[in-house]
Structure 1
Amino acid sequence: MVKAADRAKNPTRSSVWLETRTPRGGGGPAGLDRDRIVVAAIRMLDEEGLAKLSMRKLAAELNVTAMSLYWYVDTKDDIIEYAVDTVYGEIDLAAVDAAGGWRDRIRVLALDYRRMLVRHPWMSPSAGQYLNIGPHAIAVGSKIQEAIRDTGLPMDRQPSAMSAVFQFVYGYGTIESQFERRAAQAGMSQDDFYGESIKAFRDEPSFAEALEPLGDLLDERASHGSVTEIWDRDFDYALDVLVAGIETMVSRETSARETRETRETREVGETRGRQT
């Protein structure tokens, strides 16, 4: 068993994917396996969040003793890491491959990643807390890297472009998922929660001066139907802006390279001319 204290001594290797677990002797409880544990954990995380997940509650959900879980995992952190990688597996990589060019592949990856974050509000903080090095996470990362590579950006620019797109998606999906959860906790639809929240501070006199420059923006957003439609509209347009930005930078890099090559060719010619 891997102890928390041992992980604290070597945080760079603190991952279930980097640790060698000594198998327990004998057989585990009948009908229980790691996959079943992880599926139940994901269901609990979706319903109750990270703070309320415990080995005791998970065992009760599975109708086994808490000690039974330790046949398959060493800690609650192990379960969360397995859960993180499992939901990465929800991103449809076959659809990414079928999309064709890098622009469409980026869009499919971005949309699927956003949807996954919204389905699982616990995923955003978990992805930031644990190493994302399970097989599904690596497969998704590879597809992202392939799409960015095919933009034609030089290698030293590719990580920046990857960050621009997918850190945007991470942030967007995080905010969207937390807003949806907050509305649900209030027992309201997103539309009602948004409408009443906006009305509350727009009607508050102490906010009047601060909100005056934002009035047109708030009115515009309110004119576009449901909150879901607003989420989708803003996401699609922002992603188009990022893709267009990559296209612009590719063109700029290509022009700069051609200029360098032309200058170098001219300098070589001038040098040869002086030598003759």
Structure 2
Amino acid sequence: MVRAADRARNPARASVWLEDKAARVSSRKAGPDQPDGLDRDRIIATAVRLLDAEGLSKLSMRRIATELNVTAMSLYWYVDTKDDILELTVDAVFGELPLTDPDDGQDWRVHLRRLAVDYRTVLVRHPWVSTIVNEYLNIGPHSIAFAEAVQKIIRTTGLPPRARSGATAAVFQFAYGFGTMEGHFNQRCAASGMTPDEYYSDAMDAFTDDPKLVGQIDEVKDVIAAHAGKTVAEVWEGDFTFALDLMIAGIEAMVSRYGTES
């Protein structure tokens, strides 16, 4: 059994997927603290729902147990620590990505665009994921499937092997950063009781009313004018699409420059 202290001492080897927790659970016999109908899938689905609704700071074993109407001790039939649950929730969220076969005859640009869009969508839907995704090895089945899909698509671009990791970073770290900012912005709007459009309008009023910030607004007033009449969601969408077009154009340019050299 891996404890939180063990994870802290050796994080590079700490993963629920390396501990074979599923096999150990299936070998146990039911006991008084193992309610009928409770399983790891239910625990993780509940944790994801609570994280979406309440955020990371409020998640605890006791909170999950209360939501499931079981004792907190009953959860330990399926997980050793809250870290186990968080690692499993990240993989469950990656399972929401609708992966397609890059060998289906469609152009690599179609596949790359779709996967980047879907990755951003998942991060916006679950803003807590971007906060913790890098704390774990992410070697669950859904995370591995996503990584494999990315590599298959990048391989079909025609880039040489030495350039593929950079292309992967450019597209998916961009999508990660964009989705993180958008998701956290939406979360802040919800916490303030405002829609994104209301929050933006209120923030712009605050900027324009502060004489110290007038110069800052003047520097981008042409950009603000270009977005006039658009909703915040439309601006997010337009900026993401344009930026992703830049990434794809960059890959095309690098393929032209380097060809398929090894």
TM-score, structure 2 length as denominator?
0.93
Deviates more, 1:45-54 or 1:10-19: 10-19
2:6 is matched with: 6
Q: Counterpart of 2:220 in 1: which secondary structure? A: helix
Cα 1:151–1:232, aligned 2, differ >3 Å: closer, same or farther? same
Tell me the SS of whatever aligns to 1:100. Answer: coil
SS of the counterpart of 1:156? helix
Q: CA deviation at 1:224?
A: 4.5
Q: Give the corresponding residue for 2:59.
A: 53
Find the structure with the greater CA-based Rg: 1
Checking the alignment, whether the CA contact within 8 Å between 2:44 and 2:88 is kept in structure 1 is: yes
Match of 2:75?
Answer: 69
Count of residues in Structure 1 that have an aligned counterpart in Structure 2: 255
Match of 1:184 among 185, 190, 210: 190
Task: Report whether the alignment pairs 1:229 with 2:225.
Answer: no
CA drift of 1:219 comes to 2.3
Equivalence map 1:259-270=2 (5 Å): none
Task: Give the letter for the 2:239 counterpart.
Answer: D
> In the TM superposition, what is the alpha-carbon distance from 1:121 to its structure 2 partner?
0.7
Aligned residue number for residue 222 of structure 2: 216
Deviations 1:240-259 (A, max 9, x none): 1100000001001129x6xx
What residue number does 1:26 align with? 29
Residues 46-85 of structure 1: per-residue CA shift (max 9 Å, x gap) = 0011111000011000000000000010011111111100
Work out the percentage of aligned pairs sharing the same amino acid: 52
- Counterpart residue type for residue 119 of structure 2: Y
Kept after mapping to 1: 8 A contact 2:197/2:231: yes
SS of equivalent to 1:93: coil
* 1:154 pairs with 2:157: no
1:41-190 → structure 2 map (5 Å cutoff) = 41-94=47-100, 100-190=106-196
**SS state of the match for residue 88, structure 2?**
helix
User: 2 CA distance for matches of 1:148 and 1:94?
Assistant: 14
Corresponding residue of 1:207: 213
Q: Which moved more, 1:157-166 or 1:211-220?
A: 211-220
Structure 1 stretches of 4+ with a deviation exceeding 6 A read none
Q: What are the ranges of 5 or more consecutive residues in structure 2 without an aligned counterpart?
A: none
In the aligned structure 1, how far is the partner of 2:168 from the partner of 2:180? 18
Tell me how far apart the structure 2 counterparts of residues 61 and 97 of structure 1 sit (CA, whole Å).
43
Where relative contact order (Cα < 8 A, 6+ residues apart) is larger, the structure is: 2
What's the RMSD between the two structures over aligned residues?
1.7
**Local SS of the residue matching 1:157:** helix
CA distance in structure 2 between the aligned counterparts of 1:212 and 1:100, rounded to whole angstroms: 45
Alignment of 1:197 onto 2:200: no
CA contact (8 A) 1:96 1:108 kept: no
How far apart are the structure 1 equivalents of 2:92 and 2:106? 26
Shift of residue 96, structure 1, vs aligned partner: 6.2
Contact 2:127 2:184 survives alignment (8 Å): yes
Does the Cα contact within 8 Å between 2:51 and 2:59 map onto a contact in 1?
A: yes
